[in-house]
Amino acid sequence: MPRTPEQYEQIRKEKRQQIMEAALELFAHDGYYNTPISKIAQTAGISKGLMYNYFESKEDLVISVMNQGMEILTDFLDPNKDGVLTDEEFDFFVIKSFDSLRENVNYWRLYFNLIMQKEVFELVMSNYQSVMNHTMNLLTSYFETRGVKDPASEAILFGSIMDGLSMAYILNPEHTDLDKLQISIIEKFGHKHENRE
């Protein structure tokens, strides 16, 4: 029986994801410039020519990989996209961020490795910067409504601690209790500590 357009689209999405996962691992382990398209295709189990049916270039591929990582996190922040971060949405962001780390530790290990490569960061900088600015603006407004003395610095501190805890878990998951840390983060930065000076 012939496949439906929906089935073809599903197959295409799955193949695209397979290519991105192969690229993420190779870019992270071998470096962006040291990874040829042919090796990505081989790892993904497709021909080099077929790669270009999914991605225009290696640049397009690495940008897609990085965007996916950013989208995973930003989808947890302000999920209704109304530009206002509520108490519940802040807690949800922290919880979902830790859940994603637990469930996809290998992905995040590779993602952080990849984002630390200067040439990759420069390729995605414009999009990454706009996402980070939006995230920082949301967090700054959130802390401002809670009476924090310096909300912009609080937003930077929160982001830095979240990044640091993620790295600690990636490097040493057996000795990094995410359940306890999640509670501590919500208690320190969430609505339970309003009007801090």
Residue ranges of domains in the chain: 57-193
Q: Which residue has the higher pLDDT, 177 or 130?
A: 177
The pLDDT confidence band at residue 191, using thresholds 50, 70 and 90, is: low
| Sign of the torsion formed by the C-alpha atoms of 76, 77, 81 and 84 | positive
Q: Which residue has the higher pLDDT, 106 or 26?
A: 26
What does pLDDT average to over the chain?
Answer: 87
Q: Which residue has the higher pLDDT, 185 or 69?
A: 185
CA distances from 96 to 15, 44, 119, 189 (A): 26, 29, 29, 16
Q: How many CB atoms lie within 10 A of CB 120?
A: 22
Q: What is the mean pLDDT of residues 57-77?
A: 85
CATH match for 57-193 among 3.30.300.30, 1.10.357.10, 1.25.40.10, 3.30.70.890? 1.10.357.10
* Torsion of Cα atoms, 196 then 142 then 111 then 177, to 10°: 40
